Chains A and B, each alone.
Chain A
Amino acid sequence: MFVTMKDIDFYYDKNNDTILKDFDLNIHKGQTLSILGESGSGKSTILRLLAGLEKPEKGVIVIGNKIMNNENTFVPPEKREVGMVFQDYALFPHMTVFENISFGINHLSKRKRNEMVMETLNLVELVDHSGKYPHQLSGGQQQRTALARALVTEPKILLLDEPFSNLDTNLKNNIRDSLKEIISKIGITTIIVSHDKLDALKLADQLIVLKEGKIVQKGNPEKLISNPESIYAESILL
């Protein structure tokens, strides 16, 4: 397995409900996994745990043979080599598109950096917008900038948290197609959190349905959608 989460317990506040309990998740290399579930089911928490933005109470997290979390280890987010696209993109408003994208590879030589940024800009088709600031971009362009910023560091996995929630329906379909194309071009292991079954259907080759921190159904998206096993799964998938 390329990504493993095992026996994960997590809560935000000891006195409140547990978000994840004995949670397990396994993902193959190059696979695109979509996590569907209603608000508060723990979808985003899974991404934040993988990124190292949260620390589980117990359990093991492994990404690409490297232990990120267990009883004795906690690798901070900056050392995990994980690319994440935030729901609101979190583009640095004081930096241009170019500066945003090169931010994660500042340690490289200028020549190498420029080369990599240009390559990524080409990939997301934003070469003409590299000098613009985030507020000068459309919603779709902002999303592609955030994606480019995450990909340029050549992460082991790509995490997308509700990547289409800020886009209107027409734009969403186009962006979804181009995202699929980019992901399959570079073959990166990807996890997408969404509450829209179409995202899963179009982008993922594995789907899990999450309810109160537990996986209630998993498998091929098309099969799952045609055969929900519970009323909850049906409400999410149909």
Chain B
Amino acid sequence: MFKKIGFTNKWSVISFFIIVLILMPSIFILMGLFNPISDTWLHIRKYLLKDYVFNSAILVFFTGLFSIIIGVSLAWFVNAYDFKFSNFFKWGLILPLAVPPYIGSYTYVGLLNYTGIIQTFLRNNFDLVLNQSYFDIMSLSGAVFIYTIFLYPYVFLITHAFLQKQSASLVEVSKTLGKSPVDIFFRIILPISRGAYVAGTTLVVLEVLNDYGVVKYFGISTFSTSIFQTWFSLGDINSAIRLSVYLMGFVFIVLLLERLSRGGKQYSYSTTKVKPLKAKKLSGWKNWLMFSYAFIVLSLGFIIPVLQLIYWSIISYGKIVNMNIIKTVLNSIGVSLIGAFIILVSAVVIANTVRIKENILTKNYARIAVLGYSIPGAVIAVGVMIFFLKMDNGIQFLTGQNNILLLSSSIFMLIFAYLIRFLAVGFNSVESGFNKIGTDFHEASRTLGNGITKTFFKVDLPMMKPALMSGFLLVSIEILKELPLTLILRPFNFNTLATRAFEYANDEMIHESAILSLILISISVILVYSLTNIKRKGR
């Protein structure tokens, strides 16, 4: 490992500026802890806090557990066995990621309620009127189901990628030692892929803690909903700040658990020759069993909700399709593209600085850049809002005009919040791109008389196109689906597909919500498909 030459340049100055900017909201949140305690906070702490902790803990634990069961088993099956449509399932099982959980939640409520397709079918065909509590999904266990079925792909994706690189010899030697497929799964596959599925599960858990849409719609009190409520209904920003700090404590425990469960054991091969596993062809009932399992999961996570949304869209499109929808679509696409572009540029600047100028300061840049993804949207929203209001106060002071809110009423505030929340996604893609090309090309260009910037545009950038494209698509998908930040920080009268779909659903206008949701999911599917295509080509 070579130590990189160190001297100040444009790249490190801009990186420093970006890092300071993205740290500001967190600093304001921490400073808010020194504000006086209000009666609201005393009430929350005494009567409500334990509910928030209990509900969040239940959601996190069971969603995490079920995501591991579904994600790891499916990842193993599509890797180790060749069954009906198994090649399609390798990418098809990622599709539920295109459905934001809040859209999934109201789709399932619509499917299962008294007038929904399932109960209507049972009533009309079999004269069956069942106890309504059987169909009540608006509960903690219902939320666990929704989160699991739409978020398990994080575990599936990372574990699948990990297993693809594993050696066939581990499985082959186990077979020669008389182990059954079940033994091999539990005693070999599960232990070696622990790092991968723990990483995937951490993403699932962070998404659960970040979510606002599902729990709000289901009426479950969690940290996210309570931050919204304390801030907007009770107007108590200081208590919202305290709740944010508690939520960050929760996130910290999750990350600590991740580190503990990953750091204990690390496995590496004793040989450099790794022969990939060859999928075993299945036939007969085993083939159908495997297919059915994958198909049921995909149906629950994608096919059924999408079909339901299509049905609702067909019966209501005349009422809904108008210029406003087009405007909402353009808003969503516009904000996703602009946000993703700004995030990618920032990620490139920081990652290039970290790579060229390796020292304690820049190592921390990398840590700070990825920090935002673990901070729930509601917390970032609180911090960003305070930061922008302070800046507006400064502008008012400088201009002498007391009634202008230049920054805090602009789209910049929302884009800046996206930058904090999703910089990690862009940064990880860019960093892996840089790691892949190494430093030799960069150094060769430098010795041929080109500076850092020219080298970046002429050498690094063309070689990193796939990584940058992946990063851009990933960030676009995230922004497109994002709800809590957009709900809080969007400018007046600015709607995206996500906010509009959520608002309609929350106002019990589910049919109206369907078309918007469907458009959002369609764009996400196109982006997810492009992403898997880039990755396949890259390999």
Report A's interface with B, CB cutoff 8 A: 12-13, 48, 51-55, 74, 76-84, 86, 88, 90, 92-94, 103-104, 107, 149-150, 153
Contacts and interface: CB of A to CB of B under 8 A. Distances in A.
B5 A52 contact: yes
Contact of B3 (A12, A78, A93, A107): A12
A169 B2 CA distance: 29
A78 B7 contact: no
Contacts of A78: 446-451
B294 to A, nearest CB: 38
A55 B450 contact: no
A69 to B, nearest CB: 10
A55 to B, nearest CB: 5
B458 interface: yes
Grouping DSSP codes into helix (H, G, I), strand (E, B) and loop, the A interface class, with mixed when no group exceeds half, is: loop
Q: Which of B445, B446, B463 has the most CB of A within 10 A?
A: B446
Given A53-B5, A54-B5, A104-B449, A84 B444 contact: yes
Given A53-B5, A84-B443, 15 more contacts: A12-B1, A13-B3, A55-B5, A55-B7, A74-B7, A78-B448, A79-B449, A83-B447, A84-B444, A86-B440, A93-B463, A103-B450, A107-B449, A149-B444, A150-B447
Given A86-B443, A94-B462, A12 B2 contact: yes
Contacts of B7: 55, 74, 76
13 contacts: A53-B2, A55-B5, A77-B447, A78-B448, A78-B450, A84-B444, A86-B444, A90-B444, A92-B441, A92-B445, A93-B463, A94-B462, A103-B458
Q: Which of A52, A80, A103, A153 has the most CB of B within 10 A?
A: A103
A153 B449 contact: yes
Contacts of B463: 92-94
B447 A84 contact: yes
Contacts of A94: 462-463
Interface string B429-452: 000000000001101111111110
Interface in B449-464: 449-451, 458-459, 462-463
A24 to B, nearest CB: 22
B538 interface: no
Interface residues of B, number: 21
B6 interface: yes
Interface in B351-374: none
A52 B2 CA distance: 13
B448 to A, nearest CB: 3
Nearest to B463: A94
B451 A76 contact: yes
A66 B7 CA distance: 20
A90 B440 contact: yes
A98 to B, nearest CB: 15
B5 A76 contact: yes
B11 to A, nearest CB: 13
A88 B440 CA distance: 8
A88 B438 CA distance: 11
Q: Which of A52, A93, A94, A150 has the most CB of B within 10 A?
A: A94
Contacts of B445: 92, 103
A12 B3 CA distance: 5
Interface in B58-91: none
Interface in B322-381: none
B2 A54 contact: yes
In order of increasing CB-CB distance, the 3 nearest A-B pairs are A104-B448, A90-B440, A77-B446
A107 B454 CA distance: 12
A153 B448 contact: yes
Nearest to A44: B2
Contacts of A54: 2-3, 5
A158 B5 CA distance: 20
A54 B505 CA distance: 59
A55 B6 contact: yes
A48 B446 CA distance: 12
B393 to A, nearest CB: 43
Contacts of B443: 51, 53, 77, 84, 86, 90
Contacts of B451: 76, 78
